[in-house]
Structure formats: structure tokens, C-alpha cells
Structure 1
Amino acid sequence: MDTAHVDTFARDNLPPRELWPDIRFDLPELQYPGRLNCGVELLDRMVAGGFADRPCVLSPTERWTYADLLDKANRIARVLTEDMGLLPGNRVLLRSANAPMMVACWFAVMKAGGIAVSTMPLLRAKELCAIIDKARVTHALCAAPLADEIELARPKCPTLRHLAYFGTDAPYGLEARMRARGGDFAGVGTAADDVCLIAFTSGTTGVPKGTMHFHRDVMAIADTFPRSTLKPEPDDLFCGSPPLAFTFGLGGLVIFPMRFGASTLLLPAASPPVLLAEAIERHRASVCFTSPTGYRAMLPLLPSHDIGSLRKCVSAGETLPLPTWQAFHDATGIKIIDGLGSTEMLHIFIASAGDDIRPGATGKPIPGYEARIVDAEGKPLPPGEPGRLAVRGPTGCRYLADPRQAAYVENGWNITGDAYVMDEDGYFWFQARNDDMIISSGYNIAGPEVEEALLAHPDVAECAVVGSPDPDRGAIVKAFVVLRPGAARDAMALQDFVKQTIAPYKYPRAVEFIDSLPRTETGKVQRFKLRQMEEQRLSKAS
């Protein structure tokens, strides 16, 4: 199908076709037409289908129906195309905390045939410049409170020619421009394989990559995990903590609820757990998306907050430690769905729900996806043998002009960077990120397994385990530990506890107590920073 893009930058910078993963549309619900605009499908069709007056997007201060959102998205689309000269295929930087206007801007870009490049609110000018330059961003819609960094970046970004702020009463602000435009906009007839978003990875390995996704990819994530595993209902109210600039948040807090006529409650990104617990109690939310850290942080809040309205909880971003899953289940009766996804794949592709959950296992490939464990040469491994996780389905990795494409896709399979074991029943059990496997005196030790053992100790609030260079052993297991308030810094007690929990050779030979772990804005632990610290210490010592 011919592209609707006038600006063909994105299509021109897709990886060579031979480096694309195999894309499978094996389910009837994944048979999409050649012309497809995900904004029209998720919004206009829901309004036309009887959901116009249903609640759609809520915040602590706002309540929009589906018709309200459509009206605002259409007005923004007209501002973009009529005032700001947006052409189909232009890239639009979106910059805001989680808020209804951020959702309206995203839908406006989709309907106008643009490409959304959403950014985390805490990014600084230098990081914004790198993204704007990489994606050749031409337009930006930014929340007024976040103006400082984009104004610092703007003089260094010659491609960024059009910028509008929202959340302001200024005469040239986005809201003022919206009032001058009508609330009708048909939507560009994009091709199903036109790029509609460029999502940048969260930087757990240091250098973010731009991942390109099509309109049909957005619809595919809506028609796989939520349809088969989460099973939302129109009366559900979604809530959670991931930023909308993170594909976990975009899917879980916007795309999934709207595909099924449900509503979503948006809280400012990076809200403390107490605000999430309070919001669930006050608004009676029924579906929650947050990270393992978020669920663990909510545990001490449960005695003082009524979250009994929750019926489904989804965890992603990092693997869910068994102690966290068990403690949350014991306190609430809820079996958290541990979802494995990636920015490259757009959203979750392995998970299990309800009685199909095996505590400690991530789950099985969701309908529409298939997965297997492969060795270093890409050959399939039998059940019980650890190896690299390979996956394929209706979505897949397409990096924006990045040589790392060849490392992520092998023989049509997406190699996620995770080490897993598949059991005889087809359940996948996380071992480590491939770069988190520690080789010490010839032993392969999975850092997450040691972390899970440490988290079972009542004094441990958080921890991260990495390999620290050692001249005798190659590397030793080192644990960085955040203690609960009032706990004693007793490294030996923690070491002895781990020895009693898992094989003694896996215990952390070094323990360092710290106040907090380095994290990305999406909540993922940046273990590479801890490894760099250890390497620097070794170089200074030598």
C-alpha cells in the first residue's frame, strides 16, 4: 500500500528489509486493511460506536468523555495542519507529564498523519537535542511547565521549526489556537505500515535507540495482550504510574482502555506510591499498571488504603520478583500479571493471568506471538536449558538508522537480550538480562536470582546485583542494598541469609549499602551505572 506520508524521512530510514523481523498475523483479529489510521480506529470509531458520552480520560481535576477527547484532538490536529504547516510524515515531539492534554495531542498527531516522538518529562536539553536530531523532529507540542529545557535545546535544533505550548493562557498558546478552530477533522488515510511513532528506549544500557512502529502495530498490541490475557471491560477504570512517553504507559493507560471502551485515570508521572494508592481508593480504579518497584512500595500502604476496587494488576518494565508477587497476593488476593515486553516490540508478548499464573514464571507467549530459547548460534534449545530469548509476532524491532538492528534481529527472530529457561509446559522463567549474567570462578550466576533472595529478607527494601571485576575470580557477585528505615547495616547477616536461600556459591561476596538505586525515568534500575562504578574503582585501585 502506498504511503500517505509526504515527508518520507521515517520510511527512508527504516532498516534494510533483510534485517526486519518476521511479522506474523496469525489471528483473525490481526487482519488489518491496507489503509489504517490508529487514531481514527481508537477514537472516532469508538465515538461512532456509542461511546461518545462515556468517560474516557480522567485526572485529579478533569473528566473527559470520548466525545470531549475527539473534539480536542480534532482541534489540535487542525492547529497542527492549518497553523503549523504539519505534513503527513513530519515528526512531532510531545512533552508533558501524564495528563489529558498529552493524550489529546497524541491522537491529534495520529489523525494528522504525523509521527509522535514522546519524551520523558525529566529529560534535559542535551538529551532532547539528541532525540530531536536523531528523529529530525520538525514540530513540538509541550506542556508550559516544561518549557525551560526545550527552549535551551531549540537554538541547537535547526529542524525544529514549529513549537506550541499548552496549559497556558498565552494568546499564542495551544488552547487559544484550538478555540479558533472547529472540532471536525476527518483523519489522514494513512497506510497500515506508515510509521506513526518513534519510541526511544529508556537507556538502561546507556545509549537510547529510536524504535519505529506502524499504525497496524498500535492496533496489534491492542488486539493481543489485553484481548487475550487482561480482558478489560467497558466499566473498568485503568490507572498506573508509567509515563505515557514509555510504551508500557502508552499501551496500558491509553491504547488498551480505549480499544475496549473503558476509561483511564492519569496521574503525574513519577507520582509517589502513596498518591497512586490514594487515587485507587478515591476513584475506585479497577486495573493498575505499574512496575515491580511500584507494587513493592505500595505494600506498606495497604493497611491504611482501601484498594479493594482493583481486580487486575499488571507489572512490567523489569521482571517481577517472586517475594513481591507473593507479598502483594497475600495482602490483596490479587495475582499480579507479570508481563514481558520491550520498546522494540512495543508492548507485552509473554504473560499469564489468573489461574494460569505460575508464581515466579513470567508466563507463556500471548496469542499472536511465539517464543523460543536459542543458543549463541540461534539454534533452538530444549526445555530446561537456559539461553537467549527469541520472539516473533505481529510487532517487531525496526530501529531508526541504527547499526544495532543487526544484533536485535537474527533469522527473523527478535533477540530481546534476556536469558530465559522454558519448562516442559511452555512457561518461560527469567534468568537475567544477558548482560546481567555474572561469571565468577567459572560459575554462571544470574544477578536477579541473588536479588530475589535478598528481597526476601525483611530488612531489604530494594537491591541490585552486578558483577564486580576481581583479579582472582574474574568477577564477584556484589549487591547494592537499600535498607528499610531503622534496619542495621549488617552485611554478614544478609550474606548468610542468601546462603540459606540459594546455592552458597551465589551469595554476594561484597555488599554496599546505598540510599537509592540509579533508575531511568521509567523506574528501571540502571545496573550499567553500578558496573561502571565498580570498573572505575578497580582502575583507580590499580
Structure 2
Amino acid sequence: MHRFEPSAHVDTFPRDHLPPQEQWPVMLWDTLPELRAYPKRMNCARELLDKQAETYGDRPVFHYNDEVWTYRQLLETANRIAHVLVDDLGVKPGNRVLLRAPNNPMYVACWFAVMKVGAVAVATMPLYRWRELTFMTEKAEIGLALCDWRLRDEMETTLKESKHLQRAVYFHAEGPESLERRMAGKPAHFETLDTAWDDVCLIAFTSGTTGPAKGCMHFHRDVMAICDTFSRYVLKPTKDDIFTGSPPLAFTFGLGALVTFPMHAGASTVLVEQYNPQKMLQTIQEKKVTILFTAPTAYRAMTDMVKDYDISSLKKGVSAGETLPKPVWQGWHDATGIKLIDGLGGTEILHIFITSEGDGIRPGATGKPIPGFEAAIFDAEGKPVPPGTVGRLAIRGPVGCRYLDNPDRQTTYVQNGWNFTGDAYLCDADGYYWYQARADDMIVSAGYNISGPEVEAILLLHPLVQECAVVAAPDGQRGSVVKAYVVLRDKGKASPETVKALQDFVKAEIAPYKYPRAIEFIDALPRTESGKVQRFALRARAGQAA
């Protein structure tokens, strides 16, 4: 049983709404020397911003359009916002604050200000609409929002619809009520609150690949733990690295990739509000980016374009969000010489927990548990399975799942002290973990277990296929059949002849029983705001068509 450190929170909502401790996963808080050294009083803003600004004050932390923000400038901006929060807006430690902006430095300054005053950040995607925002404000009982002026329309509707949200303050705005105007007369110094290492500092809502979003509650020590596991032991950045990437800062993949990991190393990040593959390659070329974070889809698209750009500065690429197909890994490696780091992570665990890098990479395998984490494969009854057997992936480490007021999902995700990620994996004799499917993406057809992603990887080898997703479609005879939703490079090629050509291609590449008995051509795959394919939406579509 975890013994809590006395909380700095005046508003006790965060601790009051944690799951009961008997529903927590086992927390491995002492597996690494860095983790064992954590003080019981810890504020991640002090560690990542205050201390780093003392060391790297005049060095760049963010490149944004034509601006360069230094560590000192970020610190002073966050301090002034912290004064606004406390002096003008009455924010108390433990209050939740909604954050809403594209990837820009003011968003990061607001996030750190919320950390510094001991409040709890609830970050939201720019493309969310008022219904999603209202759901979050009600679930987390949020009273205040800090919002980019360009996103005010949905915010104003949320203010009208939400019972809890009382006020929104806008930045990148004009007028006496704007955040910039309020900051103008505030001191550049603010004493960061002495929070407990196990005070909740953020509530991250999941991206909705499996239905309604769930709020994941994380501590100050959790934010530091992902820096001292994946970043320190796998990514290994230095102060001279320049990061960039497409994941939104509102999701924990983006928070780590573009804020906490680079700042932990004293490095800098190029923040771009709207990325596409061409813009990403152009940015790498112009800003001499060394570390890139994005999704498999972007790497696949950039592979065809990379010859037109000078990306010789790039040293490392990290892929996450969904599994990285072997053809995409190989294509990128052939085009650039860079071995992509394929990471498996989750909002519940905050960031990546299984991966491999350098000579340890086996193309097609996700990798091994990173330092500080343990993994295992269990069958449906919760018993460990031998190597080479497909089963349910489970994880435990210094960070774990604690859902906000969601006992049903908590007891599904956490069982016998393990976090069950919802992925079907096998672990080989060498300890490498090989992705098979989301547990609910495993297609059972006429008694055969068929991995949807395996079929996808083959379809992606065909020159006509741009993107695809494979799900189970109901079938009276077989229970389910394999159905592929395919985005063609040339939409004009959609025809029965192409369907047959793709089916024959799959039959020729893998066991014939795995071929897609149904293929539907679509213009685009449905995705979450973080870029993940919404397979639950495709399963629903397949069910309606049956």
C-alpha cells in the first residue's frame, strides 16, 4: 500500500478521485538509481524549467516560426502567467485548468505555469469541439481555461454548455482581458509551489481509439520518470540536439517528445502548429533537426519524398501511435540509413515502455521493455504463457494506470497488479516482443486466428496501396471474415479487378486463409486527433454493411 506524501493541494479533488489503491497496478518506483533518488517533495516545473533555466538560460528551448525562445524567456513567461493564475484568477493548488492551443511556446508556458502553482493541467486537442470539451470539463470539474484566441468559438460554446467551466482567458489576443495584457505588469519571478511527488499534476484524456475518452491521472514524479527511463536510457539526447515532431502537445506522446525530453537534456525543439510530410522534411532541412517524432503514416509518406531534401542532420527517428509495419521501417532505412525506434506506449502509462534502438532493433519487432519496466504475456485466464505464444500484453513500471473516477475501466485495465494494454503480443525466446493486434483486432475466421496488422503489412507492399486498415467483418458462415479498407494511391484504380489483384497478392505472400475476403476502397481512414486509425469505427462500418 502506497503511503502518500502530505499533499500541497488545497482543492482535494485530485486525490479524492484517484482509484482505491487496491485497484492500482504495482508501482516499480525503485528499479533505477535515478528513480530511487527522487525527493518526496517534487514539482516537475522546478526540475525541468527552473533548474534548467539556471544552467541553460540563454540557450534556445523553442524555435517557432521566426522566433527563438530561450530557457530564461520561457521561465519568465511561465512565472508571469503563474502570477496571473494566483493573483488575478484565484487558482488554488489542486484546481484543474483546461489548456487549449496548437503546438506553440505560449501553450508550453501556460502548462508550466499550471505546474508551478500546483494546479492540474488538462490539455485538449485544437480540433476538439464543444461536446468533447464539455465532457472533459464535467468529468474533471474544471473551472478555468487558458485558450489560444484562434480557438475561441468552441471555447465560448463550452462555457455556455458546461456546468463547471466558469471562465476562459485567451492568449495571442488583444484587449485588457487577454492573458498577455494581464501578464504585462507581473513579476518575472515566481516561487514554484512545493508539491508532493505524488500530487496529481495532469489529467490526460485518452485519444478515443476504443470509444469514450478516459481521464488518466499522473503525478509530478511520473513526468520525471518518463524522462529518466525512455529518454535517458533509449533516446539519449544531448543539449545540442534539436527535436521536432507532429504529435500534439495535448497528448502525452507529444508532451514527452517535444517538451519534457528535450528540456530534460537542455536541448531545443522546433514547434510547428500544422505539419504535413513536406513541411516536416523542409523543417528538418532548414532547422538542422536531429531527432524526429511522428507516426508510421508520416514516415511512409516521407520515404517517397526524402530524396528531394537534405536531411543529413537527422540522427534519430521515433515512431509511435500505432504499430510500425516492417515495410515502412525498411523503406525509411533504405532511403535514409536511419533505423527507426518503434515505441509502444499509452496515455495510461504516460509514454513509451517497450522499444529498442540501434543495433538492438529487430525490424518488425517492437522491442523489449525499457529500463525501469517489466512486461509479460498472459492468457485469457490470467496465466503466463510460454515464449512464442500469442497472448495479452501486460506492463508494470514506475508509471501506471489510474483512471479518473472510472472503476469499471480501472479494473479492466489493471489486473493482479499489471497494466493490461489491450494489445495481443508474443514474446520470442530472446525476449523481443512482437505485435500481433489490438486484442480486439484479432480476427477469428472459421477457427483461424488472423492478425489484422499482418495482413495490412502485406497490402502495404503493393504499389497501388497508399494506406489500409484491416478489421473483422461479421459473416454468417465463418463468424467473421477479414475485411480491408484500402486507400489507393490512384483513386481511379478502384475496380473489381484491383480487388482481385490485391487478394491474389496477399494469398501469394502469406498463408492463403489470411487474405481479405472483402475489400472496400475509401478516400481516407478515420483517425483520432493524434493520428491513430479508429479501427472501432471501421468495425462498426463493417457490421452495418454485413
TM-score, normalised via structure 2 length: 0.97
Indicate conservation of the 8 Å contact 1:459/1:487, yes or no: no
| Correspondent of 2:153 among 135, 148, 162 | 148
Other-structure match for 1:45: 51
Residue 448 (structure 2) aligns with: 443
In the alignment, residue 348 of structure 1 is paired with which amino acid?
A: I
Structure 2 SS opposite 1:344: helix
Deviation readout 1:307-335 (Å, 9 max, x if unpaired): 11110000000000000000000000000
Paired residue for 2:39, among 14, 33, 36? 33
1:162 CA displacement = 2.8
Q: 1:12 corresponds to which residue?
A: 16
The equivalent of 2:264 in structure 1 is: 259
Which of 497, 508, 511 is residue 500 of structure 1 equivalent to?
508
Indicate yes or no: 2:487 matched with 1:479: no
- Partner of 1:213, secondary structure, is strand
Contact 1:273 1:294 in 2 (8 A): yes
**Contact 1:84/1:162, CA 8 A, preserved across alignment:** no
Q: Cα offset for 1:378?
A: 1.5
The DSSP-based 3-state class of the residue aligned with 1:511 is strand
* Aligned match of 1:407: 412
Is it true that 1:511 corresponds to 2:519 in the alignment?
yes
Distance (Å, rounded) in 1 between the aligned partners of 2:545 and 2:296: 30
Q: What are the residue-to-residue correspondences of 1:202-281 with 2, within 5 Å?
A: 202-269=207-274, 271-281=275-285
In structure 2, what is the equivalent of residue 528 of structure 1?
A: 536
Secondary structure of the residue that 1:130 maps to in structure 2?
Answer: helix
Q: Could you report, residue by residue, the CA deviation over 1:34-78 in whole angstroms, capped at 9, with x for unpaired residues?
A: 100001100001112x20011101111321000000000000011
2:339 aligned residue: 335
SS in 1 for 2:223: helix
Paired residues of 2:376 and 2:384 also in contact (CA < 8 A): yes
Q: Work out whether 1:318 is the aligned partner of 2:322.
A: yes
Q: Answer whether contact 1:199 1:210 (CA < 8 A) is retained.
A: yes
Deviation at 1:305, TM superposition (A): 1.4
| Consecutive unaligned residues in structure 2, runs of 5 or more | none
Measured after TM superposition, the shift of residue 487 of structure 1 is 6.5
Equivalences for 1:85-484 in 2 at 5 Å?
Answer: 85-269=90-274, 271-402=275-406, 403-484=408-489
Q: Deviations over 1:253-276 (max 9, x none)?
A: 00000000000111114x211111
Question: For 2:93, what is the secondary structure of its paired residue?
Answer: coil
* Preserved contact between residue 338 and residue 362 of structure 1 (Cα < 8 Å): yes
Query: Considering only aligned residues, what root-mean-square deviation do their CA atoms show, in Å?
Result: 0.9
1:170 and 1:319 map into 2 onto residues whose CA distance is 46
Q: Per-residue CA shift, 1:146-173, capped at 9, x if unaligned?
A: 0000101101223212321000122210
Whole-angstrom distance in 2 between the partners of 1:44 and 1:113 = 14
Shift of 1:145: 0.3
Deviations 1:339-390 (A, max 9, x none): 0000000000001000000000000000000101011122111110010001
Q: Is the CA contact 2:159–2:167 (under 8 Å) kept in the aligned structure 1?
A: no
Residue 127 of structure 1: CA displacement? 0.9
Partner Cα distance (2:72, 2:342) in 1: 33
Shift of 1:485: 2.9
Distance 1:75 1:296 in 2: 42
Give the CA deviation at 1:113: 0.4
> Contact 1:480–1:512 (CA<8 Å) still a contact in 2?
yes
Asked whether the 8 Å contact 1:142–1:166 carries over to 2, the reply is: yes
Mean Cα deviation higher: 169-178 or 428-437: 169-178
**1:416 is aligned with what amino acid?**
T
TM-score for both structures, normalised by structure 1:
0.98
What residue number does 1:537 align with? 545
Residue 382 of structure 2 aligns to which amino acid in structure 1?
A: G
Q: Which runs of 4+ in 1 moved over 2 A?
A: 485-489
The amino acid of 1:520's aligned partner reads T
Number of paired residues? 536
Structure 1 residue ranges without an equivalent (≥5): none
**SS of structure 1 residue aligned to 2:62:** strand
Aligned: 1:61 with 2:66: yes
Given that 2:155 and 2:168 are in contact with CA atoms closer than 8 Å, whether structure 1 keeps it comes out as no
CA distance in 2, matches of 1:154, 1:172: 16
**Correspondence 1:3 to 2:7:** yes
- Conserved 8 A contact 1:417-1:433: yes
Distance 2:163 2:234 in 1: 45
Contact 2:377-2:426 within 8 A present in 1 as well: yes
Secondary structure in structure 1 of the residue aligned to 2:47: helix
Task: Verify the 8 A CA contact 2:291 2:315 in the aligned structure 1.
Answer: yes
**Secondary structure of the residue that 1:519 maps to in structure 2?**
coil
Higher mean displacement: 67-76 or 529-538: 529-538
Distance 2:75 2:245 in 1: 23
SS at match of 2:531: coil
Q: Which amino acid aligns with 2:341?
A: I
3-state SS of paired residue (1:534): helix
Q: Which moved more, 1:219-228 or 1:161-170?
A: 161-170
What SS does the corresponding residue of 1:244 show, helix, strand or coil?
coil
Shift of 1:488: 2.3
- 1:537, distance to aligned residue in structure 2 (A): 2.2
Deviations 1:374-424 (A, max 9, x none): 111221111100100011000000000002100000110000000000001
CA drift at 1:338: 0.2
